[in-house]
């Protein structure tokens, strides 16, 4: 369960990270948006460093930016870095560079991008991020039409005997986590449903063992 910091109270980031870690999160997920690749600006390397200082949990950085090959090295403290397949640059080369820097490498695809677009890169990734909303904002509604890409990814792994984590991101709550997990997703990113829950520990439990 990867808690998306975008949904936290930025006036108290240390307290929020400690609260959600104590509630049982496994990873922290940080959404980096540059106002070009997506129509929003979130935060940058300083926020990743601040979160890293407050937790021993793995930090999962989701780059929704142009030129990730140029910027990824600045995210000190990132354990995994995920780039989007829709970028204009060299996807395979950037994934290789991320791995060469000692981090794991993730590849994300937006809802309008067909599974076939990521296929050429699946041999060189640690994680596939199937976006279940259009990237750019927290608090959006889960798009069920994205589910078939989880099935396609799980089938691809079986056919090729290769393994990578399948992560879903956007509109994840108890119900949608159960749908995604049933098809083969194992990493649930959740922002709103965890940070805004009256009982964060209960919200996290309900994602981990979907009822």
Active site residues: 31, 169
Nearest-CB residue for Zn ion: 62
DSSP string, 95-116: HHHHHHTTSEEEEEE-TTS-GG
Could you tell me if 99 and 125 are in contact, meaning their C-beta atoms sit under 8 angstroms apart?
A: no
Backbone Cα Rg of the chain: 16
Query: Which residues 130-169 are close enough to bind ligand DX5 by CB under 6 A?
Result: 133, 135-136, 138-140, 169
Element (H, E) at 87: none
Examine residue 174 and tell whether it contacts ligand DX5 (CB under 6 A). no
Out of ligand DX5, Zn ion, none, which partner does residue 104 contact, by CB within 5 to 8 A per kind?
none
Q: What is the dihedral of CA 81, 86, 89, 93, to 10 degrees?
A: 50
Q: Which of 52, 62, 103, 149 binds Zn ion (CB under 5 A)?
A: 62
Query: Which residues 16-55 are close enough to bind ligand DX5 by CB under 6 A?
Result: 29, 31
Please give the Cα distance from 178 to 81 (Å, whole number): 25
Examine residue 169 and tell whether it contacts Zn ion (CB under 5 A). yes
Cβ distance to ligand DX5 smaller for residue 33 or 153:
33
Examine residue 200 and tell whether it contacts ligand DX5 (CB under 6 A). no
Could you tell me if 132 and 176 are in contact, meaning their C-beta atoms sit under 8 angstroms apart?
A: yes
Structure tokens at 119: 């296929």
List contacts with ligand DX5 (CB under 6 A).
Answer: 4, 6-7, 29, 31, 62, 133, 135-136, 138-140, 169-172, 189-193
List contacts with Zn ion (CB under 5 A).
Answer: 31, 62, 169
């Amino acid at each position: 369960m990867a808690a998306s910091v975008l949904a936290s109270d930025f006036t108290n980031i240390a307290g929020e990270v400690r609260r959600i870690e104590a509630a049982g999160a496994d990873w922290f997920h940080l959404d980096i948006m540059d106002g070009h690749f997506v129509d929003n600006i979130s935060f940058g390397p300083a926020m990743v460093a601040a979160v890293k200082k407050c937790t021993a949990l793995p930090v999962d950085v989701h780059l929704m930016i142009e030129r990730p090959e140029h910027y990824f090295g600045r995210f000190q403290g990132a354990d995994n870095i995920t780039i989007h397949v829709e970028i204009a640059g060299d996807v395979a080369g950037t994934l290789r560079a991320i791995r060469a820097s000692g981090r794991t490498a993730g590849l994300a695809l937006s809802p309008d991008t067909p599974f076939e677009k990521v296929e050429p890169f699946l041999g060189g990734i640690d994680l596939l991020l199937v976006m279940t909303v259009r990237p750019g904002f927290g608090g959006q509604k889960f798009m069920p039409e994205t589910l078939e890409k989880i099935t396609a990814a799980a089938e691809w792994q079986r056919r090729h005997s290769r393994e990578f984590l399948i992560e879903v991101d956007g509109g994840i709550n108890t119900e949608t986590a159960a749908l995604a997990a049933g098809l083969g997703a194992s990493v649930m990113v959740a922002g709103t449903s965890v940070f805004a829950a009256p009982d964060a520990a209960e919200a996290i439990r309900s994602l981990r063992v979907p009822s």
